[in-house]
Structure 1
Amino acid sequence: MPVDETKNWTDLTVSAFAALGRGRTNDAARLWLQAAAVVDEATSTASIIAASHSNAGIAHLILENRREADVDFREADERWSEVIESVATLDIPMTGSSSFHFRLATKVPQLLIEAGRRRYRHIAEAAQAITRFNRLFVDADNLASGLVDREARELASTLGEILGSASAEVCLLTMTSERADDATIFSHYNSKIADFAHRQPALASALSADCAAFEKAVALTALLGPRAFSAIERQKENAETRFENSNVTRT
């Protein structure tokens, strides 16, 4: 993937998270769709393509285009499967934070390579699980039946082991509507990009180009938590109410 294209995609995607963090849901949707538009699927890495389709799926949900959302989520799911399969041949750089790691890399390089590939497979599986969870919102019956909340609990357990129990994703999955207002719910997307900004310089300097793109794609795959989805729906209802009230006032 060309460097300029990667930077454009990253900047637009991060801006989308920032917009959602401020509760500007329609702006976030438009930015995610703009990010998807700059990705050239002929030259981009599968992980970036997967993340882009997954985020575009959320954008379409926000804009109430459920059919388009389903198409993007399906495509993202297929791409994540390709990514997971490709981990078996992923080039893992032999770097370490200490002389012990350096000596270990020279003595048993394959051991460290396989350990690295296991990690990448796990985080790719986490990203695919996020995409599959997001897709549940396409069908309103999944909310009414309680399926979304059940899957949220299971996914929170899985992501807690891979991303950490304090990650933005786990917080979005476990928070309850009684404990948070909309601003607090959306603020977790700000935490997400703050963590991304903190980690990216170190990751980019220590990893190969393929690994850096992999990490970036997973880190920038958005999760639509149940409470976040409810907050987005409330925004739409409030906007409709204001529009109706303004029409009544004019008449």
Structure 2
Amino acid sequence: MKRFSFSIFVIVVTTFILSMCGVALAHFQVIKPQDNIVEQKEDATIEIKLLFTHPFEQKPMNMKKPEEFGVVVRGQKTDLLNTLKSYEAAPKATAWKTLYSIKRPGDHIFYVSPAPYWEEAEEKYIIHYTKTVVNAFGMEDAWDKPVGLRAEVIPLTRPYGLWAGNVFQGKVIVDGKPAAGADVEVEYYNTDSKVKAPKEPYITQVIKTDERGVFTYAIPWAGWWGFAALTDAPETMKSPSGQDAPIEIGALIWVYAEKAEM
């Protein structure tokens, strides 16, 4: 009987430790175009993927169909929600993708407002308003223009044509106001898990916005990088059990940095 009780104790403790490790993983809404600079008009169709995941560990979660997905070109919004097709990013982890044909020169700001995600381990909802900018045919006209999302990163550095080692700056706006002192989590989209973190704090970099809502980060190597500015919503939502639950509001932007070929 004692042996049985000890076994249950070990299982409970192990489960608790694993659940705490899961909490440590940072959640990121991803909007990842096939390329963020399109130069050839003859073949200007790109694939865009939407995932909710831990980008460094490459551990996707199940993502419901977004509430809003579209693109802004020359100040005009186009709804692309019905173009999305679901696919399996991992077992029991639905993600979404679409093909978009670029027809006009200029900055294309793709954005997504996801459905609220219930995070059981943290007992809260997560809503990450996310965008990325694709430049088409050499016209730079709107990369620093807001989409009008509830929470949004306004780039102060052009978010394409970046070299590894460049500094990226952004301004975080939440409910129309600069978000001062907000945590900004930064992660590398670790394709094929090629980069190994020596210790856990290396996985998610953390910086803070200043009094103007501005953050600064030097991109260390090439690839896709996500910046997630996190704040708490003033309102709550009902949890699956019917309790009032907090909401994490995220303002995210994804940028790509290129390796210099010498």
Question: Taking structure 1 as the reference length, what is the TM-score of the superposition?
Answer: 0.27
- Give 1 or 2: higher strand fraction: 2
The answer to which structure has the higher helix fraction is 1
Relative contact order, higher structure (CA 8 A, sep 6+): 1
